[in-house]
Amino acid sequence: MPGFYRKKRRKTGPSKNDEKVQRGREAVAETHAAGTLTSRFPGVRGVKVRIAVTSPQGVVLDENEDVIGPNDAFIIQTDCPGRCGSGSYEFAETVAASLTKLEEHGTAQIACVEPLYGGGPDKCGCIAKCEFEAEFSPS
């Protein structure tokens, strides 16, 4: 009778800790790539951002508010809390376009088009709404 033994499954991929370090590095790199609020928009003193994510059924899944100060990186994004498990919403360029036009406030909306986790033909369908209010320096 042939012996049966289970091969020890070696964990592949980065460990939790490595991932954290990696994410930290990415965040730093992103900050550099994005630039600070002042470096991109010298006339803007601060931007208050509110992002709310709702499921396709209209349930609010996530809501957060953030204030970007002059020395903060100009990053406006949030991960999708929906069933895709991988989506993210990126509002920085939309808001940047408004700030360039000296608009003090505005809204943007993005739908998550990531497929649902585990496959299937459906898209995630969560919707993120972003509201922002900018404070311009008096000139």
When asked if residue 130 is in the footprint of Zn ion (CB under 5 A), the reply is no
Handedness of CA 28, 30, 33, 39 (dihedral sign): negative
Rounded Cα gap, residues 30 and 50, in angstroms: 20
- Using the minimum distance from each CB to Zn ion, give the nearer residue, 80 or 95: 80
Choose one: 38-46, 59-67, 103-111, 118-126; the region binding Zn ion (CB under 5 A).
Answer: 118-126
Contact with Zn ion (CB under 5 A) among 47, 95, 110, 126: 126
SS (H, E, C) the chain: CCCCCCCCCCCCCCCHHHHHHHHHHHHHHHHHHHCEHHHHCCCEEEEEEEEEEECCCCCEEEEEEEEECCCCECCCEEECCCCCCCCEEECHHHHHHHHHCCCCEEEEEEECCCECCCCCCCECCCEEEEEEEEEECCC
Contact with Zn ion (CB under 5 A) among 78, 82, 99, 128: 82
When asked if residue 80 is in the footprint of Zn ion (CB under 5 A), the reply is yes
When asked if residue 73 is in the footprint of Zn ion (CB under 5 A), the reply is no
- Using the minimum distance from each CB to Zn ion, give the nearer residue, 84 or 134: 84
Contact with Zn ion (CB under 5 A) among 76, 124, 127, 134: 124
Contact with Zn ion (CB under 5 A) among 47, 68, 73, 84: 84
- Using the minimum distance from each CB to Zn ion, give the nearer residue, 80 or 99: 80
When asked if residue 99 is in the footprint of Zn ion (CB under 5 A), the reply is no
Residues that bind Zn ion (CB under 5 A): 80, 82, 84, 87, 112, 114, 124, 126
